[in-house]
Structure 1
Amino acid sequence: MTHHNFIQLKLQSRQQAGNYRWLKPENSLVDFCSNDYLGFARSGLLAKLIQEEISKYSSINGSTGSRLISGNTEYAESLEQLIADYHKAESGLLFNSGYDANIGLLSSLPQRHDTVIHDELAHASIIDGIRLSNAARFTFKHNDTDSLEQKLKAAKGLIYVIVESVYSMDGDQAPLQAISQLCKQYKAALIVDEAHALGVFGKGLVNQLNLCHEVFARVMTFGKALGAHGAVVLGSTELRSYLVNFARSFIYTTAAPLHQLSVIKMGYAFLANSTSIITELHQKIELYRRSINFSSRVTDSKSAIQTVIIGSNDATKKAAQTLQQQGFDVRPILSPTVAVGSERLRICLHTYNTDEEIIQLTNLIKEYLHAR
């Protein structure tokens, strides 16, 4: 077999399984699929603030190197501390994406004789990072604290527990208070990925639940509700120094340029004054929840992420196509991204979705489910 034949066979296998992926350009459909929950990415006012911020500084176009060589700036370090203070953390370290942050943190921190326990629905970046660490890896049943405790009892070495505060495929929330208590009981370090909570729940659920001092590390990503790009790992000053020395996805990558850092900074400034925008989003979420009529196929989520379980890749793709033909950009989530049998429509709600659009969408979904 040649290298070319291997690639062809793997792609054919994907096509036969109905989960072949391809890139699609932007479209003119009503957006019910992006992570721009608060509309920051399309905000003209925020864009103006970013431009004003950039104009204050004389900067070359790129960062020219990694932060350990030529890419570090006082601007980056002050931004890290600003974000840390905002979230009531001691320190923070910027990464170029949420994936990079999880890879860097989880591949460097746990060691071969340690134990990492994560929710079975944890994001791929969490799983990939743990695998690179060579630590023992265990999963517990989704949001099941009894299952978590069983794994904690069997754990050896230093113990790390990793969850998401809001899960990206179901939109449900982790029972952070109960998980935090278990981690304290078993002397485990709790790490929380707040990617889909930041903005939607203000500063995130860890802040909202007053768990800042109970959580060992947090990952905040900026490419969702903040309308920017990149991520930060929040924790102690010692943790920051550790990551600077051992996190390969930080050490061996080019630093973010001033423009990206400015977008993040202004995104946070905008978020700090966005109480009414957040309230508006939750009103949209409640409208969707009232309109959809819960059933075994509809997940009970109070976040901006809502899902409708269809089952099978082909049926889910057809359901998405039906909605797209009616003008609504809803995307199918297929196996192996989710478990076989749980293929679903993932619906993201935004402040810029009108009430009429939300009601029209829910009516179409109910009609489709009834027809099946």
Structure 2
Amino acid sequence: MPQHPADPADVFAWIDAAESVRERAGLVRTLRPRPPVSPLLDLASNDYLGLSRHPETVRGAREAAECWGAGATGSRLVTGTTELHAELERELAAFCGFEAALVLSSGYAANLAAVTALSDRGTLVVSDAGNHASIVDGCRLSRAATAVVPHSDPDAARKALAAHEGRTLLVSDSVFSVDGDAAPLAGYDAVCREEGAALLVDDAHGLGVLGEGGRGALHAAGLAGAPHVVATLTLSKSLGSQGGAVLGPAKVIRHLVNTARTFIFDTGLAPAAAGAALASLRLLRREPERADRAREVAGRLYGRLTASGLTAARPDAAVVSVRAPSASAALRWAADCREAGLSVGCFRPPSVPDGISRLRLTARADLTGDEIDRAVTTIVRAAPAGAVDC
């Protein structure tokens, strides 16, 4: 017979042991509320284009809330679809080069929707080993057979696809969030065309940074609007708002409306978030140089940090990743930077697929030359023993 705790207060006693393990490994995570205006120089957020506080973005949010109210009031299929949502979907699709778009409450929900709706028990989903957790969870929830292939390896993807006789779907980030490296989209596309597979790409870190005027990695690769290609993206990074979207052929979007559980059973995106995203999108369309500036800042950060002896991954977009000798060293490094007035990201297991902890820096388009100098100086001075050439 199974043994149950006699005292109800002991039912979560196992959490104490789990917390102890995390503490010893340097993997404890805590929430740190920030004030409205932070004194820290921000290289930790995903506000790649510096639009989250732009007057036009904020005005878009305010006007949408005043017009439509604070919430969407229901799921998209009941009362949660406003004319504003439809307008945002039309402009997103047109800007990125796709036939249609569907807005959801988050990028996470968008990936769950796309993966689960485009696969079933008879489908093989081939997933890059570096994919975001939302793609991994989508694969799990889809109940499809899943083959995880080595990172950025089209040949491995080809072998996996060729071994399956039913429907197939290849899934990859466009820019991987840990090291900021770009996926081999041309190679993945060639594999999909050869094997008759659909290609699903999460362009969360490409939108606003890559492609002509920030139209994204798929646009840059000439794949936007291809009949076998579907994209997901988030409105919370380059567009400085919140929410997510799926873009692709109109029949794919219609299919998601009827089958994607994270769309059907979730409350629609709040009007303020939709209004902010639409305002940012229009601003980016008028000021395409913001995308170029984000890549320029990333290159400068990478060059300066590696010249100082630190080990960083060459950025393909706006993420600059700097290796740390251990999880505890990365945590201390980030804390020391914070004490010196600089906010940086700290990626440790299980957020890093290779187990190597890192500082993760955001190359925001609105960083000045002086701010770049300050950031590099702070990171180098705070570097722990073993960080150079680790």
Q: Do Structure 1 and Structure 2 share a fold, with TM-score over 0.5?
A: yes
Q: Which amino acid aligns with 1:277?
A: R
Match of 2:219 in 1: 207
Aligned counterparts of 2:170 and 2:310: Cα–Cα separation in 1: 30
Aligned counterparts of 2:324 and 2:133: Cα–Cα separation in 1: 22
Relative to structure 1, the CA distance from residue 180 to residue 36 in structure 2 (aligned partners, 3 Å threshold; closer, same or farther) is same
Post-superposition shift, 1:79?
Answer: 2.4
Q: Which amino acid aligns with 1:13?
A: V
Q: Which amino acid aligns with 1:10?
A: A
Structure 2, unpaired ranges of 5+: none
Match of 1:317 in 2: 331
Q: Which moved more, 1:248-257 or 1:355-364?
A: 355-364
Aligned residues of 1:291 and 1:362 also touching (Cα < 8 A): yes
Aligned counterparts of 2:138 and 2:354: Cα–Cα separation in 1: 24
Aligned residues of 1:92 and 1:233 also touching (Cα < 8 A): yes
Aligned counterparts of 2:69 and 2:304: Cα–Cα separation in 1: 51
Aligned residues of 1:113 and 1:156 also touching (Cα < 8 A): no
Q: Deviations over 1:120-160 (max 9, x none)?
A: 01000000011011111111111122222222222341110
1:101-112 alignment to 2 at 5 Å? 101-112=110-121
Q: TM-score, normalised by structure 2?
A: 0.89
Aligned counterparts of 2:118 and 2:278: Cα–Cα separation in 1: 28
Structure 1, unpaired ranges of 5+: none
Match of 2:54 in 1: 43
Q: Which moved more, 1:362-371 or 1:316-325?
A: 362-371
Relative to structure 1, the CA distance from residue 132 to residue 52 in structure 2 (aligned partners, 3 Å threshold; closer, same or farther) is closer
Residue 42 (structure 2) pairs with residue 31 (structure 1): yes
Aligned counterparts of 1:289 and 1:297: Cα–Cα separation in 2: 9
Q: State the identity as a percent.
A: 31
Match of 2:196 in 1: 187
**Aligned-partner SS, 2:286:** coil
Aligned counterparts of 2:384 and 2:110: Cα–Cα separation in 1: 43
Match of 1:260 in 2: 273
Residue 346 (structure 2) pairs with residue 332 (structure 1): yes
Post-superposition shift, 1:171?
Answer: 0.4
1:36-185 alignment to 2 at 5 Å? 36-51=47-62, 57=67, 59-185=68-194
Aligned counterparts of 2:16 and 2:348: Cα–Cα separation in 1: 21
Q: Which amino acid aligns with 1:31?
A: D
Q: Which moved more, 1:237-246 or 1:226-235?
A: 237-246
- Aligned pair count reads 370
Aligned residues of 1:37 and 1:304 also touching (Cα < 8 A): yes
Post-superposition shift, 1:180?
Answer: 0.5
Aligned residues of 2:209 and 2:318 also touching (Cα < 8 A): yes
Match of 1:362 in 2: 376
Match of 1:22 in 2: 30
**Aligned-partner SS, 1:40:** coil
Aligned counterparts of 1:61 and 1:320: Cα–Cα separation in 2: 36
Relative to structure 1, the CA distance from residue 105 to residue 117 in structure 2 (aligned partners, 3 Å threshold; closer, same or farther) is same
Match of 1:239 in 2: 252
Q: Which moved more, 1:63-72 or 1:173-182?
A: 63-72
Aligned counterparts of 2:53 and 2:81: Cα–Cα separation in 1: 29
Q: Which amino acid aligns with 2:364?
A: H
**Aligned-partner SS, 2:12:** helix
Residue 286 (structure 2) pairs with residue 273 (structure 1): yes
Relative to structure 1, the CA distance from residue 60 to residue 307 in structure 2 (aligned partners, 3 Å threshold; closer, same or farther) is closer
**Aligned-partner SS, 1:42:** coil
Aligned counterparts of 2:300 and 2:342: Cα–Cα separation in 1: 17
Post-superposition shift, 1:234?
Answer: 0.6
Q: Which amino acid aligns with 1:208?
A: A
Aligned counterparts of 1:10 and 1:369: Cα–Cα separation in 2: 29
Aligned counterparts of 1:232 and 1:63: Cα–Cα separation in 2: 16
Aligned partner (choices 16, 33, 50) of residue 8 of structure 1: 16
